[in-house]
Amino acid sequence: MNNLVVYVLVFASSFVHAARFNTCATGEVCKPQNECEAVMKITSKGGWTPQERAYLKSKHCNYVNRLNHFCCASDTKPDHLPEAPKCGIYFGDRIVNGEDTNIDEFPWFALIQYSKPGNRIGHNCGGSLINDQYVLTAAHCKILVPKTWKITKVRLGEWDMRTNPDCQEDFCNDRYVEVPVVNILVHPEYYFEGVAQYHDIAILKLERKVEFSNWIKPICLPVDARIRSMDFTSHSLEVVGFGLTETGFTSPVKKKVELDGRTQAECQAQYNKAGVRIFEKHFCAGSDNGKDSCNGDSGSPLMKFGNFPHSKFGHYMQVGLVSFGARRCGTPDSSGVYVRVSEYMDWIIENTKY
């Protein structure tokens, strides 16, 4: 018996002796270990991290016939969240190493509109359209804004805030669409400690279903269990928004930034001096040249472009959403902190049903 098998058996026995079985969340079923791909990806190797060990304990749901069972994503996919090619598809040219977006790029981006005293309006957060009636954003976009600000609408199909419709050379889009928000659901475990945000995710329900077009489309979420378990550390990622630029002013045109995924240890080391705790439901990304997401981009999607399971098309997958970061925007070698969307998929699936 090799060392790996011994290691797995010893660790497995600790589950049994604990005799505490967890109840599976909505969208999960209790499966034998060898039928759960996310678990097998961890148990097939030795030297588990504290986060992996905690994950296994949290998913342990039974012990039958000398075999551990774990909560694993159900094979039944929710029909109210789209999968590629019905989401995340962009047929234009992807410009790499650039900051300007094409007029039809990232058609799932949503501007969160606030009503303010004096009949003023503002767009102070971003979000992502995840189906035809729900938008994903950050919880602090609801909780930490002034009490006199109220989220009233979501604007979709926007590219240049100075014009409507917008044109890029001779190519023009449709007029943007504004849809009232009828419900705001903040994650029940959300809290903040100083600059740090935890479980910083919220769902906006729109008054009506929106009609998709070349300018308005949903982004894909990691519904599939194989995607949920993927590690995007060191991957090239993109974030999009109208947030504060290096000049300190909000950009009137939708921008994008390319970032690299960072390990939790790297990120924690950067935030130690600030006394900020980075936990497993955070995801960090940054760059070495000062590029970052900034204030005003809160709630905007962090995305990965690639070929994912169940799709023959390259498409965008939302892996995070902007939560918090260094106090000085674009600080070189710093990481922004994002909500790890895969950790909240069960909650999202349960709360976006029609």
The active-site residue out of 104, 200, 292, 297 is 200
Report which DSSP code applies to 276.
P
**CA-CA distance, 28 to 36, in Å (whole number)?**
11
For the chain, strand residue ranges (E) read 28-32, 60-64, 67-73, 109-116, 120-129, 134-137, 150-156, 167-168, 171-172, 177-186, 191-193, 196-198, 202-206, 236-241, 255-262, 282-286, 301-307, 314-324, 335-340
- Mutual orientation of helices 50-59 and 3-18 as an angle, nearest 10°? 50
User: Which residue type does 289 have?
Assistant: N
Annotated catalytic, 200? Answer: yes
At residue 167, the 3 state secondary structure works out as strand
Annotated catalytic, 140? Answer: yes
The active-site residue out of 60, 69, 123, 140 is 140
The active-site residue out of 229, 298, 300, 335 is 298
Query: CB-based contacts of 177: which residues, under 8 Å, 6+ apart?
Result: 155, 156, 157, 210, 216
Annotated catalytic, 132? Answer: no
103: phi then psi, degrees, rounded to nearest 5: -60, -30
- Catalytic site residues? 140, 200, 298
